[in-house]
Amino acid sequence: MALPSVWSAVRVAILSVSVVGLLSMRLVGAGQDSGSVIPAESRPCVDCHAFEFMQRALQDLKKTAYNLDTR
């Protein structure tokens, strides 16, 4: 008999967290100043960030493989 009340409590909790999350995202988006935007010319492109991320990931994989080989 306790299961239906547990499930209803879980549903209410999930709904509450979703509503609070949506409201906080909306507040964060409204609070950004338009004067603090960095011009596109001075920002690195998305491909550059992805390339750097992949380079670091490959270096980590190489280190991990080396450590496993030495064991």
Give the per-residue pLDDT at 59. Answer: 92
Radius of gyration, CA atoms only, the chain: 23
The alpha helices in 1-71, defined as continuous H runs, are 2-30, 46-70
Q: Which tens digits make up the pLDDT trace of 6-64?
A: 777 777 778 777 777 777 776 555 555 556 776 767 766 777 778 888 889 999 999 99
Distances (CA, A) of 65 to 13, 20, 52: 43, 43, 20
Give the per-residue pLDDT at 50. Answer: 82
What is the sign, positive or negative, of the torsion defined by CA atoms of 7, 13, 17, 20?
A: positive
Q: What is the pTM of this model?
A: 0.36
As a whole number of angstroms, the distance between CA 17 and CA 53 comes to: 32
Question: Can you give the residue ranges of every domain in the chain?
Answer: 2-70
Give the per-residue pLDDT at 32. Answer: 54
